[in-house]
Structure 1
Amino acid sequence: MEYSQNENYNNMSLTKFESMLKTNDVLFFDSDEFENIIHHYLENGKISLAKKAIKLGLEQHPSSINLRLFKIEILVIENKFDEANDILEELHFLEPNNEEIYIQKANVLSKQDEHQKAISALLIALDLSESPEGESDLYGLIGMEYLFLEQFENALIYFQKCLEVEPTDYAALHNVIYCFDFLDKNQEAIDFLNAYLDINPYCEVAWHQLGRQYFALKEYERANSAFDFAIISDDTFVGAYLEKGKVLEKQKKYHEAIENYKITLALEDPTSFALLRMGYCYEKLGDDDLAVQFFNQTVEEDPLLDKGWIAITKFYNKKQNYQKALHYIKKAVNIDGDNVLYWKLYAQINLRLNFLEEAEEGFKRTIELGNYEIDTWINRTDILIKLGEYEAAIYNLLQAIEFYPESAEIEYRLGGLYFKTWEQEKGRYHLKNALRLNIDYDFILDELFPNILNRPTVKAIISSSKKS
């Protein structure tokens, strides 16, 4: 669909239409005016106003193909696919060679996860297209459908075709690199970008993407040069300064990295990423005061950024200032109680402080949130043993053994716990399993259940295993 480029004309139409809605007067608009009004509302996410404009437009121009195509867009947004298809069939009968009908058909199919059929419809639209701009858009739409199908090689082909028609389509350029990244083809991406830059030498987006590819390959000097060219092409390109800062960090040039991050703060509102990286740089330089200052600014700027809370907590943890570390991780947990990384740190710090009940709760929440690392199960078990919660410790290990069926660490603990609770047969079974898996780990019994080792049954099982 073509839209008027006359901004004053469009604004007058919008003002006239919105005035009509307020007064309930019925005014006449030609179909082009309605199309521009509807397009404006859809672009700005004002769906209810777009629906009103479509309804009034069709009342005044019931035979307008384009207005009915807009109606289909609304029906797709509302998931009314059968109704959308009925209108598409009518329109196809009226104008079988209208490429926009096939594009909307593809839209309906795509929303129903019929991506291969959507591609077929778009290929027909491509055959019908008569403008390079239309072809470029269609190549992009086909590429997106292949992305939905996770056919990245095919998606790559169409996004590249898109750039051949419209070299400044940066969305297509990003998608090309996305496909290369997903396919782990860094060198191919580099070759593509260098060829692209031969034709478009001042494209800051391409230089930025080239730098990212070199960074992924740990070719930091080349990455640095690419980001420099991105900055030369656009000295307000915040992303290039941020990426250059990351490269300089890898090269341990922390002062230079900080300077680049500072530039981003001058160009736009502070980003939590830049503040966090500056904190890390100052920490590496041994400037603890500034490191803490920037870590604090990070969590103030973005309280939902877990990396900020983790950074400041780990900073104090390394300094063995566990009370301060606990203060910050408690704040983090209060903000986001479903963050597994927070709970793990909370548990570890409480354990350092010998706050056993709080540490046990932390490891429990960590497990509940899906962290099934063996150390998490083991740490929680050992705390439960210290607390005398033997049944809970057994239950915890029986869950753990589902994930780690051949773990000597789990088997020794289960054996010891069953002996502790006087379930001799189960104790024998798990102790024999433990000795079979790793006879050298029998020190676990000595550490956690020293009195058990004096029992004749336990001595006999260990002695028999060592002899054999």
Structure 2
Amino acid sequence: KGNIYSEYAGKENDFNRKIEYFTLAAANYDSMFASCKSDDIKKNLKNDCKKFSNVIDSIKVYYWAENYNIGVKALGRIDEEIIPRIKEATDSTEKEAASAELKAVADSAKGYFRLAIAVDPSKYRPYEGVALTHDRLKEFDSSVVWYRKATDLEPDSLYLIQNTAYGYIQSNDWSNAAEYFKKLSAKVPDDAGTLLNIAICFNNMRMFDSAYIYDTRAIKADSNLSAAYIDVGRYFLIKSQAYSDSIKEATQANKTAEANSYMTVRDNLLDSSSYYLGQGIKLVPENIEALEQYGVVTLVNGQYEDAAGAFKRLTELEPFKKDHWVNLGDIYIQIQKFEEAIAPLEKATELDPGDVKVWEVLRDLYSNTNNTAKANKAQAKIDELNKL
């Protein structure tokens, strides 16, 4: 009787009807297996159980494989033909046509994977197939549901646990993503990438202390993991800013001892921030955001040569940004390298000729370095701008 339902399913065009027939077929197959195991069935009626069990197993394997493989081919077509066509489309009409085809083929892929599930719900691969198809459609909330179904059937699969975690990230569900990355980390405790992903999840949940713990574990697992160093550097920088506020409040209240205590803690945090950010940019010297933060931290910390190096590198990476040139010039002034401060500040005036404050600093530098002609020109520019 189960095979009759399978044959009915083969003649149907509607996926929902096909699923109903295969579900009925599977129920009948399961009923036969249950009957063969039952002690209430007479022995002479069980004689053919082995023969029929083998036949049914073969039928299930056939229909499962047939539907699953069609789903895999449809998914392959999406990856190899349709998505590249969408990316390469030169006009909206072409893109709309390819997008419509993507939806149609994806619906077909999902349908065949669900047919395979109806035939044998115990195999995880069709669940994964449905999840992957939803991924291609950027339907991440749906994909993660199917990844979880697959993971429930194959709980030791690192690949499925990881895909489930990434599915939650795509859905901006950082809490569940962290939980699945933790499951993955429990199985591969020294994998630095997984530890870093957990830290990223905690950062997005603004649980910075927890993120710090996993970042330091990631560094222990892989000392070349630049992102973890930079993240820890930022962690200490943020904590130092809180102590800066406490120093200000204690100073205003004439609580000198308390202010000094806060200052010691802040300086230690800045030292830590400087170290970790410095390690990070050694590994990725073109990370602009980290360079900016390292420049600020080292400047506040009185590490002027390091700060100058950071902002000099920033002027090379982003020569169009005035602030980098101004910061570099200001640092040279701090360490009394007045002649070296002139060139970056001149570059700043090229980028923004209307900044009076920069012209005033330049005028003073020209005067201090006995360049009277340039000092006069700078003053004339200041007078001109002040009249506007």
TM-score by length of 2: 0.55
How far did residue 314 of structure 1 move? 0.9
**Structure 2 residue aligned with 1:297, among 214, 217, 227?**
217
Residue 243 of structure 1 pairs with residue 243 of structure 2: no
Amino acid at match of 1:353: N
Matching residue within 206, 211, 230 for 2:135? 211
Q: Does 1:307 align with 2:227?
A: yes
- Segments of 5+ residues of structure 2 without an aligned counterpart are 1-68, 115-125, 241-268
Structure 1: unaligned runs, 5 residues or longer: 1-162, 215-221, 434-457
Question: Take 1:174 and 1:272, find their aligned partners in 2: how far apart are those partners?
Answer: 32
Contact 1:418 1:424 in 2 (8 A): no
Counterpart among 177, 190, 194 of residue 83 in structure 2: 177
Partner Cα distance (1:400, 1:168) in 2? 57
The aligned counterpart of 1:196 is: 109
1:33 aligns with none
Q: Does 1:367 align with 2:315?
A: yes
Match of 2:333 among 363, 375, 385: 385
Q: 1:432 to 1:194 in 2, by over 3 A?
A: farther
- Who is 1:330 aligned against? 278
**CA pair 274-285 structure 1, distance change in 2 beyond 3 A:** same
Q: Pick one of 302, 311, 315 that aligns with 1:354.
A: 302
Tell me the SS of whatever aligns to 1:388.
coil
Offset of residue 381 of structure 1: 1.7
How do 1:37-436 residues align onto structure 2 when only pairs under 5 Å count? 167=73, 170=76, 173=79, 176-177=82-83, 180=86, 188=99, 191=103, 193-201=106-114, 202=126, 204=128, 207-208=131-132, 210-211=134-135, 213-214=137-138, 222-233=139-150, 235=154, 236=157, 237-247=160-170, 250-251=172-173, 254=175, 256-266=176-186, 268=188, 271-283=191-203, 288-320=208-240, 321-337=269-285, 339-369=287-317, 372-400=320-348, 404=351, 406-409=352-355, 412-414=357-359, 416-422=361-367, 423-427=371-375, 429=377
Q: Does the 8 Å contact 1:333/1:339 carry over to 2? A: yes
Whether contact under 8 Å (1:210, 1:226) holds in the other structure is: yes
Cα pair distance change 1:262/1:395, threshold 3 Å: same
1:421 is paired with a residue of what secondary structure? Answer: helix
Q: Identity over aligned residues, as a percent?
A: 17
TM-align CA RMSD: 4.0
Q: CA deviation at 1:294?
A: 0.2
Do the aligned partners of residues 200 and 287 (structure 1) sit closer, same or farther apart at CA in structure 2, a change above 3 Å counting?
closer
Greater helix share, 1 or 2?
2
**Residues 1:197 and 1:427: Cα distance change in structure 2 (over 3 Å):** farther
Cα distance in 1 between the residues matched to 2:360 and 2:205: 49
In structure 2, how many angstroms separate the alpha carbons of the residues matched to 1:199 and 1:168? 9
Alignment of 1:13-24 (within 5 A): none
Work out whether residues 384 and 392 of structure 1, in 8 Å CA contact, stay in contact via their aligned partners in 2.
yes
Higher relative contact order (CA 8 A, sep 6+): 2
Take 2:143 and 2:332, find their aligned partners in 1: how far apart are those partners?
A: 55
Cα deviation for residue 295 of structure 1 reads: 0.6
Q: 2:70–2:112: 8 Å Cα contact kept in structure 1?
A: no
Question: What do the CA deviations read for 1:41-75 (whole angstroms, capped 9, x no partner)?
Answer: xxxxxxxxxxxxxxxxxxxxxxxxxxxxxxxxxxx
- Distance change (3 Å), C-alpha of 1:371 and 1:195: farther
Q: 1:204–1:259: structure 2 CA closer, same or farther, 3 Å change rule?
A: same
Letter paired with 1:240: N
Contact 1:415 1:428 in 2 (8 A): no
Matched residue, 2:120: none
SS in 2 for 1:304: coil
Change (3 A) 1:290 1:365: same
SS class of match (2:143): helix
Counterpart contact for 1:231–1:240, Cα < 8 Å: no
TM-score, normalising length: structure 1: 0.47
In structure 2, distance between residues paired with 1:363 and 1:177: 42
| Cα distance per residue 1:313-341 (max 9 Å; x no partner) | 11111111212211212333444556555
> Could you give the per-residue CA deviations for residues 248-269 of structure 1, whole angstroms, max 9, x where no partner exists?
6x24x52x23212123224556
| In structure 2, C-alpha distance between the alignment counterparts of 1:302 and 1:371, rounded to whole Å | 33
The separation in 1 between residues aligned to 2:85 and 2:223, in whole angstroms, is 33
Q: 1:174 to 1:399 in 2, by over 3 A?
A: farther
Contact 2:329 2:344 (C-alpha < 8 Å) held by counterparts: yes
- List structure 1 runs of 4+ shifted beyond 6 angstroms: 163-166, 182-187
CA distance in 1: counterparts of 2:335 and 2:85, whole angstroms: 53
- Relative distance call for 1:266 and 1:309 in structure 2 (3 A) is same
| Partner Cα separation in structure 2 for residue 172 and residue 327 of structure 1 | 47
Equivalent residues of 1:394, 1:414 under 8 A apart: no
Q: CA contact under 8 A between 1:242 and 1:274: conserved in structure 2?
A: no
